[in-house]
Amino acid sequence: MSRSAHPAGPRHADVLSEGHYSAPPADLNALDPKVWSQTVTRTADGQVTVGGIEVTRLAEEFGTPAYFLDEADFRARCQAWRDAFGPDADVFYAGKAFLSRAVVRWLHEEGLNLDVCSGGELTTALDAGMPAERIAFHGNNKTPEEIERAVAAGVGHIVLDSFQEIVRVAHIADRLGKRQRVQIRVTVGVEAHTHEFIATAHEDQKFGIALAGGEAAEAVRRALKLDGLELVGIHSHIGSQIFDTAGFEVAARRVVSLLAEIRDEHGVELPEIDLGGGLGIAYTSDDDPAEPHDIAKSLREIVTRECAAAKLRTPRISVEPGRAIVGPTAFTLYEVGTIKPLEGLRTYVSVDGGMSDNIRTALYDAEYSVALVSRSSDAEPMLVRVVGKHCESGDIVVRDAFLPADLAPGDLIAVPATGAYCRSMASNYNHALRPPVVAVKDGAGRVIVRRETEEDLLRLDVG
Ligand code: LLP
């Protein structure tokens, strides 16, 4: 393996002002536990291990690029959420972050429920043995066929997202001779401090029914009249990758005041509120996410206090974390290919994956960290942009980061915190083969989603 040096070019003001990075870290070999999963460590010989296995062994056995998911960490995070909210609340894992049959089994074993938002997620959940009553079905445009499957399967909740859907679900339930438990998703009018594409509680977007102007109250009126529906609660999801918990608190207050209005108008105290997901995670050392314990405490306090003030029985609270459970549990392992130093700018490090396995940088301007993991290095830090092998210049995995200047083709680098919304949003762009997800635990790796093959691509191409 050659070890040529690629010095960082001069970092002039333009580059610095465009960049997202701060100063190079004091120690490029250090692995910040905020962004790496629990069992990741660097051993004395400089290699990184996860679940007790060296990354070079993982690369040999499973290839690159690949996502390695720390099963012990996943289970620990499930337990932390469950313990934080306690027996009087429910934690629904948001399957959109990453879902596979193994994940469903872990959730089941750890006592979590599951939020699904498509027929495909529902099938995966049921196939892996999640009891239907522990599944909530979401989405702004569920098809009649999806609704029918969900009702027939006996899902615990359908979260109604529009006036039309109130009627659709009621008719389907009637036809199947069932009474479907439902919640109504409301938009509480909170501007969550996150990327526009993942904020969902302001009024001008496609989800839910607005509290403002009495729309949500009208939806409740209609739902309560329909025999096919058993309205049990109100749902709010304000957005994703949120650090400022004030938005959740405002949402909780507004949802409780709707419950009070409903009691006053209909004499009915709805027994549940769901405050959605959205808690942010650390992608870089600059991020400081809240702990489940703190968010649980503050939500419980607000709901209890507001309910007491409105003389309401405190409803059962549920939450739907996706990213905060699975995000930090996985890293993507890549092999370094071409290294291209651009004099006066930065060094482009190309890896064997890219926007097909992590679209988040291109789509949301997301920030990631990266480390050399197949060895340690004492070389100087060099400013890099980690890019993929796709045919466009937006194909960026890590916009700005520092790697050792002796980085060379064949080295393995890893991008942490890729457990959420990376494999689940992966594509076949340029006919890339979507990478496998390998669960690592107690010294062994187990493929839970296999690598796509060229035969898989050709199988769909039937022309
Ligand atoms: N509940 C509902 C109703 C949701 O729509 C979502 C996410 C969640 C829960 C889970 O949110 P989390 O705890 O994972 O933030 N693709 C974007 C994220 C989109 C989130 C969509 N809904 C990303 O990569 O950042």
Give the closest residue to 281 by CA, choosing from 443, 453, 105, 421: 421
* Predicted pLDDT of residue 17: 41
- Total-model pTM: 0.94
Residue-range domain boundaries for the chain = 41-69+328-460, 138-321
Q: How far is the CA of 457 from the centre of ligand 1 (A)?
A: 28
Ligand 1 midpoint to CA 348 (Å): 31
Query: What does 298-349 look like in DSSP terms, one character per residue?
Result: HHHHHHHHHHHHTT-PPPEEEE--SHHHHGGGEEEEEEEEEEEE-TTS-EEE
- Rounded to the nearest 10 degrees, how much is the dihedral formed by the CA atoms of 77, 83, 85, 89? 110
Q: How far apart are the CA of 97 and the centre of ligand 1, in A?
A: 7
What pLDDT, in 10s, does the model give residues 135-155? 999 999 999 999 999 999 999
Residue 439 beta carbon below 6 angstroms from any ligand 1 atom:
no
Which residues are within 8 A (CB) of 351 and not within 5 positions of it... i.e. 6 or more apart?
A: 65, 334, 335, 336, 337, 386, 387, 388, 389, 397, 413
Q: How far is CA 262 from the centre of its chain?
A: 33
Task: Return the structure tokens found at 54.
Answer: 């060296």
CA of 400 to the centre of ligand 1 (A): 25
CB atoms inside a 10 Å sphere around CB 126 = 20
Ligand 1 pocket residue status of 113, Cβ below 6 Å: no
pLDDT at 205: 81
Q: What is the pLDDT of residue 442?
A: 96
Residue 366 Cα to ligand 1 midpoint, Å, equals 14
Going by CA atoms, what residue is nearest to atom 6 of ligand 1? 277
Q: 41-69+328-460: which CATH topology?
A: Lyase, Ornithine Decarboxylase; Chain A, domain 1 (2.40.37)
Write down the pLDDT at residue 181.
Answer: 98
Alpha-carbon gap, residue 419 to 227, rounded angstroms:
41
Ligand 1 atom having least distance to the Cα of 138: 3
Q: Does ligand 1 have an atom closer than 6 angstroms to the CB of 406?
A: no
The pLDDT score that the predictor gives to residue 26 is 87
Per-residue pLDDT of the chain (463 residues; tens, 9 = 90+): 333 333 333 333 344 445 556 688 889 999 999 999 999 999 999 999 999 999 999 999 999 999 999 999 999 999 999 999 999 999 999 999 999 999 999 999 999 999 999 999 999 999 999 999 999 999 999 999 999 999 999 999 999 999 999 999 999 999 999 999 999 999 998 876 666 666 666 667 899 999 999 999 999 999 999 999 999 999 999 999 998 888 888 999 999 999 999 999 999 999 999 999 999 999 999 999 999 999 999 999 999 999 999 999 999 999 999 999 999 999 999 999 999 999 989 999 999 999 999 999 999 999 999 999 999 999 999 999 999 999 999 999 999 999 999 999 999 999 999 999 999 999 999 999 999 999 999 999 999 999 999 999 999 999 9
Q: Which of 117, 307, 391, 422 is catalytic?
A: 391
DSSP 277-292: --B---SSTT--PPPH
Q: By CB neighbour count within 10 A (0-12 exposed, 13-18 middle, 19+ buried), where does 360 fall?
A: buried
Q: Which of 277, 184, 173 is nearest to 227 (CA)?
A: 173
239 C-beta closer than 6 A to ligand 1: no
Evaluate the omega torsion of the peptide bond into residue 24 and state whether it is cis, within 30 degrees of 0. Answer: no
Check residue 9 and give its pLDDT: 38
- The CATH topology of domain 138-321 is TIM Barrel (3.20.20)
State the Cα–Cα distance between residues 373 and 147, nearest whole angstrom.
46
Structure confidence at residue 125 (pLDDT): 98
Q: From CA 264, how far away is CA 273, in angstroms rounded?
A: 17
| Residue 391 annotated as catalytic | yes
Cβ–ligand 1 distance for 277 under 6 Å, the answer yes
Cβ of 328 below 6 Å from ligand 1? no
- pLDDT for res 351: 98
What's the confidence (pLDDT) of residue 436? 98
* pLDDT tens by residue, 173-214: 999 999 999 999 999 988 766 666 666 666 678 999 999 999
> How many Å apart are CA 177 and CA 152, to the nearest integer?
10
